[in-house]
């Protein structure tokens, strides 16, 4: 199961997993998920879209209950990818901003993992991959609330890795840096000079380019596979070396 499956990173993860032979159930609040599935994924017969806002508890619980039935009581891979970002100076960051970021970035992953825990345990070799951020590792002005939620995702991943290890469940976090997605483009636009913002971002990356969603998907696919069978509780930066500076 992959949440945030309609986005740039989420869509790339779904495609990579489907191409690897997985049957994937994708969740997103964006109604375009169904159209994207028809265009790119449904032909393989191994992708099933669900339109749901994971920040709405009742809707999320209804859909995860449906998923437990469709999964037949077993889930091998869970990717908690759904996330939102907002730029705002700290003094202007109100409770509503923090609560909205927490609801999607942390609480949705917490609830989804809890709801699917019996199915993950039934796998015997399940892998949970939480998509955090480079900003779980470093700070950035204007993103105090976002950094707080993604740092929480990383701490949650580490704690869960230790607690669920005896049940045969591995848990890891992936920390993408600047990835070419609609979310990043919106961030550049919000800064007033998109071209300048893009150039500055590229200059901050030692590899000298922005990442692609496929870069993140490749790491997720590895962590989901048996090749990563002894990997758990780790944070995997996919940032072109940015956080190594």
Cα dihedral sign, 7-112-149-230 = negative
Helix (H, G, I), strand (E, B) or coil at 27: strand
For residues 133 and 81, the answer to whether their CB atoms sit within 8 Å is no
Are 147 and 89 in contact by the 8 Å Cβ rule? The answer is: no
What is the model's pLDDT at position 4?
95
Q: Is 146 part of the annotated catalytic residue set? A: yes
- As its CATH architecture, domain 2-177+212-237 has 3-Layer(aba) Sandwich (3.40)
Q: What is the pLDDT of residue 14?
A: 94
Q: Which residue has the tokens 């437990």?
A: 68
Dist. CA 94–CA 112, nearest whole Å: 26
- pLDDT of 34: 74
Catalytic residue among 47, 50, 146, 236: 146
Q: How far apart are CA 156 and CA 179, in angstroms?
A: 23
Give the tokens for residue 134. Answer: 């480079």
What are the structure tokens assigned to 7, written together?
């986005």
Q: What is the DSSP string of 187-211?
A: HHHHTS-HHHHHHHHHHTSTTSS-B
CB count within 10 Å of CB 107 equals 18
pLDDT score, position 38? 58
The predicted structure's pLDDT at residue 45:
65
Q: What is the pLDDT along the chain (245 residues), one digit of tens a residue?
A: 999 999 999 999 999 999 999 999 999 999 888 776 655 555 556 889 999 999 999 999 999 999 988 888 999 999 999 999 888 889 988 899 999 999 999 999 999 999 999 999 999 999 999 999 999 999 999 899 999 999 999 999 999 999 999 999 999 999 999 999 988 888 888 888 999 999 999 999 999 999 999 999 999 999 999 999 999 999 999 999 999 98
- Spans of all domains in the chain: 2-177+212-237
Rg of the chain taking only CA atoms, in angstroms: 17
The reported pLDDT for the residue numbered 74 is 95
């Amino acid at each position: 199961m992959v949440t945030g499956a309609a986005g740039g990173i989420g869509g790339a993860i779904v495609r990579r997993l489907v191409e690897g032979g997985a049957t994937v159930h994708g969740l997103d609040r964006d109604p375009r998920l169904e159209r994207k599935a028809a265009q790119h994924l449904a032909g393989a017969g191994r992708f099933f879209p669900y339109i749901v806002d994971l920040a709405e508890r009742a809707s999320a619980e209804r859909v995860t209950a449906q998923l437990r039935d469709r999964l037949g009581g077993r889930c091998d891979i869970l990717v908690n990818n759904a996330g939102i970002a907002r730029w705002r100076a700290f003094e202007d960051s109100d409770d509503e901003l923090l609560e909205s970021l927490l609801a999607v970035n942390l609480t949705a992953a917490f609830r989804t993992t809890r709801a699917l825990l019996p199915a993950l345990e039934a796998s015997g070799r399940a892998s949970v991959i939480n998509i955090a951020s480079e900003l779980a590792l470093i700070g950035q002005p204007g993103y105090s609330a976002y950094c707080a939620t993604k740092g929480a995702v990383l701490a949650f991943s580490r704690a869960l890795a230790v607690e669920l290890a005896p049940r045969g469940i591995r848990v890891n976090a992936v920390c993408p840096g600047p990835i070419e997605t609609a979310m990043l483009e919106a961030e550049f636009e919000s800064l007033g000079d998109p071209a300048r913002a893009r150039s500055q971002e590229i200059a901050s990356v030692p590899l000298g380019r922005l990442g692609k969603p496929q870069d993140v998907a490749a790491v997720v696919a590895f962590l989901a596979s048996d090749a990563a069978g002894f990997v758990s509780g780790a944070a995997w930066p996919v940032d072109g070396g940015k956080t190594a500076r």
